[in-house]
Amino acid sequence: DSGVTQTPKHLITATGQRVTLRCSPRSGDLSVYWYQQSLDQGLQFLIQYYNGEERAKGNILERFSAQQFPDLHSELNLSSLELGDSALYFCASSGPSSGNTIYFGEGSWLTVV
């Protein structure tokens, strides 16, 4: 158990809809990262938050947005969903004790039909 909690574990939704994925980082971790893993793809970095502020942005679509709340949990909002958005979405966290190492949650499997 990495200590990073993601909900929901599975989600099926229709094209055009909007979903929210939730992540609770490890205790004490200030950084939260979101990654996407599509079929046959590696882990694509989407966005990073540090203590509530956006720190880095990767290949995140404009239809997607994220935020980190004062209690440090994070949400990834995916809107106007398309079939190609079907993927595993991972949240990871890091903190002072982990340095460059990040710890992943078990992922949220999104299927768009």
Q: Which is nearer to other proteins, 45 or 52 (CB)?
A: 45
Which position among 14, 27, 39, 42 is part of the footprint of other proteins (CB under 8 A)? 42
Which position among 4, 23, 32, 76 is part of the footprint of other proteins (CB under 8 A)? 4
Strands 87-94 and 108-112: antiparallel
Smallest gap from Cβ 74 to other proteins, in A, equals 14
Judged by CB under 8 A, the stretch of 12-20, 34-42, 62-70, 71-79 that binds other proteins is: 34-42
Do 92 and 23 touch, CB atoms closer than 8 A? no
Judged by CB under 8 A, the stretch of 13-21, 28-36, 60-68, 74-82 that binds other proteins is: 28-36
**Angstrom distances, CA of residue 37 to CA of 27, 42, 51, 86, 99:** 25, 6, 25, 9, 23
**33 contributes a contact to other proteins by CB under 8 A:** yes
Q: Which helix (H) or strand (E) holds 24?
A: strand 19-24
Nearest to 35 by CA among 88, 80, 77: 88
Residues that bind other proteins (CB under 8 A): 2, 4, 6, 31, 33, 35, 40-45, 48, 56, 58, 90, 92, 94, 99-107
